[in-house]
Amino acid sequence: MHYPNGKKLSVDAKKKPLPNPTIYSNRGMTLEEDINETNDYYRDTGKAIIHKKPTPVQIVQVDYPRRSAAVIKEAYFKQASTTDYNGVYKGRYVDFEAKETKNKTSFPLNNFHEHQMKHMESIIDHGGICFVIIRFSTLQATYFYPADSLLKHWKNSMNGGRKSISLESMKKEGYIIPIQYHVKVDYLHIIDMYYSTNGGNNNG
């Protein structure tokens, strides 16, 4: 995200507390930027309408200078209670979250908050298409990972199981998203495939 002063917002500002020092979501040509480009491409070519939700901000103080726009003078980043992206594809509701890790062997589950997991579970219950896009930046590998698989691992971790998803599980339960020039993260392609072969998340 670029702001008017040319500075990029650091991860620390966006996510608090920072769950894991090896997680980045806003640095360089990030996964977020790639997804935004992809969504623009989908929109321009009439494939789907997917938007990133605005960053949730708790506003504390607003000034109203005469003759000019209201200025927010004090505000804080809030933890998101839902996921970052949603929209419509072929009439269906699509909902997902994107995360990047520098880890090489597993993806830590503490990247997700409990209310985000509950949200994803609700979306599946209501027949929505729900997944996460996970990039292992060091491995230059980006996965489409169905929310039902994520929920399975997360529930297991809540019951004392493993606190991360191994790269092996990711390869087995997820789908690699090839990086292309125009469509950096072509997840619709995987949705078509996953939902025709699998009958949707509901049948997990």
Alpha carbon of 146 to those of 97, 141, 191: distances in Å?
11, 16, 10
Stretch that binds a second copy, among 118-126, 141-149, 157-165, 172-180 (CB under 8 A): 118-126
Stretch that binds a second copy, among 33-41, 51-59, 138-146, 159-167 (CB under 8 A): 51-59
- Half-sphere CA count of 67, side-chain side, radius 13 A: 0
CB of 113 to a second copy, least distance (A): 15
CB of 128 to a second copy, least distance (A): 4
Stretch that binds a second copy, among 12-20, 21-29, 102-110, 185-193 (CB under 8 A): 12-20
Q: Look at residues 76, 74, 103 and name the one whose alpha carbon lies nearest to residue 14.
A: 76
| Token pair of 78 as six digits | 């809030």
Alpha carbon of 94 to those of 20, 69, 90, 180, 196: distances in Å?
27, 35, 10, 22, 15
Query: Residues 22, 82, 157, 169: which binds a second copy (CB under 8 A)?
Result: 82
- Half-sphere CA count of 174, side-chain side, radius 13 A: 27
In the 8-state DSSP scheme, what is residue 65? -
Q: Is 121 annotated as a binding residue?
A: no
> If binding is defined by CB under 8 A, does position 192 make contact with a second copy?
no
- How many residues line the site for a second copy (CB under 8 A)? 53
Binding site for a second copy (CB under 8 A): 3-5, 9-10, 12-13, 16, 43, 46, 48-49, 51, 53-62, 64, 69-78, 81-82, 86-95, 119, 122-123, 125-128
Question: Which residues make up each annotated binding site?
Answer: 82, 84, 97, 116
